Amino acid sequence: VVTNVVREQTETSNVIAQTDRGNPDNVVMTGAHLDSVFEGAGINDNGSGSAALLELALQMKRAHPRNQVRFAWWGAEEAGLVGSTFYVNSLSQEEKDKIKVYLNYDMIGSPNFGNFIYDGDGSDFDLAGPPGSAATEALFEKYFNLREIASEGTQISFRSDYAQFFEDGIAFGGLFTGAEVLKTEEQAAKFGGEAGVAFDPCYHSACDDITNVDELALEINGDAAAFVTSWLSLSTRVIDEEIAAAEEAEPAAGARALQVEQKHDITHWGDKWIK
């Protein structure tokens, strides 16, 4: 076994920008991480998400959002989600409450890509995001359906910068085109590409260079990011309605969970009880 390890204390930065226009008390936040692993340039992971976010920010200069849009390019994601975790933990509760949703783009140009949407409603992997996440997933699905492009849910794995937003109860969503997992026969039939090969064979490797991005994947998912961000910049009603319904149902849900606890093992996650 050969290892190549650098241990040193250093500093990194998040880059945060937001629109001048829009309601500052109703923020749509979107982010991608800037850093790569030591082994390579990280052009797909995550130059793809960072570049798409930068183009979206440039295009937003001409827009007139009703809700403020905030852009974040995170530092030190590969070191353990350091930048995004620090940012969320540094916010007061009042500031967190102003963030209506967080949208994450991490690897959206994988060469053997699939079109994956974070499973906000828990229908695919039995873990739903905070209230508002299901409505966010549905907006991404709407984009893919309008373009008649295949998509499917991806697991909430807490491997990217949405993790601390989730932990703090902020609705989230986002896109992912696959990393080291092998594409199945069914996924190859759905998305094209090669079954039995990783979605990104250069994941966390030196070959994640400028040749390691599929331009079609980047175009599709970059447009999806623009579609959902633009929609929510004008109205977050679908998220507001889901949050309001969850708040109305919470006392009853809590009573039911306590009854279930007497008969079954359950897990406590934040302020929610999950069977």
Mean pLDDT computed over every residue of the chain: 91
d(Cα 67, Cα 221) in Å, to the nearest integer?
22
Confidence of residue 252 (pLDDT cuts 50, 70, 90): low
The residue among 8 and 226 whose pLDDT is bigger is 226
* Any domain includes 260: no
Q: What is the pLDDT of residue 260?
A: 38
* Any domain includes 6: no
Are 77 and 5 in contact, with CB atoms under 8 Å apart?
no
* Any domain includes 259: no
Q: What is the pLDDT of residue 251?
A: 66
Pick from 126, 120, 190: which is nearest to 162 by CA?
A: 120
* Any domain includes 96: yes
Q: What is the pLDDT of residue 250?
A: 79
* Any domain includes 273: no
Q: What is the mean pLDDT of residues 187-204?
A: 98
* Any domain includes 29: yes
| Residue tagged 């991480």 (tokens) | 33
Q: At what angle do helices 133-146 and 237-261 cross, to 10 degrees?
A: 130
Q: What is the mean pLDDT of residues 53-59?
A: 97
Confidence of residue 7 (pLDDT cuts 50, 70, 90): confident
Pick from 222, 263, 23, 271: which is nearest to 108 by CA?
A: 222
Are 41 and 47 in contact, with CB atoms under 8 Å apart?
yes
Are 31 and 72 in contact, with CB atoms under 8 Å apart?
yes
* Any domain includes 8: no
Q: What is the pLDDT of residue 261?
A: 42
* Any domain includes 253: no
Q: What is the pLDDT of residue 3?
A: 74
Q: What is the mean pLDDT of residues 76-98?
A: 97
Give strand pairing partners of 103: 30, 173
Look at residue 228 and tell me whether its pLDDT is greater than 50: yes
Q: What is the pLDDT of residue 10?
A: 86
Q: What is the mean pLDDT of residues 15-38?
A: 97
Look at residue 256 and tell me whether its pLDDT is greater than 50: no
Instruction: Report the predicted TM-score, pTM, of the whole model to 2 decimal places.
Output: 0.89
d(Cα 9, Cα 11) in Å, to the nearest integer?
7
Q: What is the mean pLDDT of residues 232-258?
A: 82
**Catalytically active residues, by annotation:** 77
Q: What is the pLDDT of residue 257?
A: 42
Q: What is the pLDDT of residue 273?
A: 29
Q: What is the mean pLDDT of residues 145-166?
A: 98
Q: How far is CA 69 from the centre of its chain?
A: 16
How many domains are there within the chain? Answer: 1
d(Cα 168, Cα 118) in Å, to the nearest integer?
17
Q: Residue 105: give its domain's CATH number.
A: 3.40.630.10
Give CA torsion, residues 62, 171, 87, 60, to 10 deg. -10
Q: Which domain holds residue 68?
A: 15-247
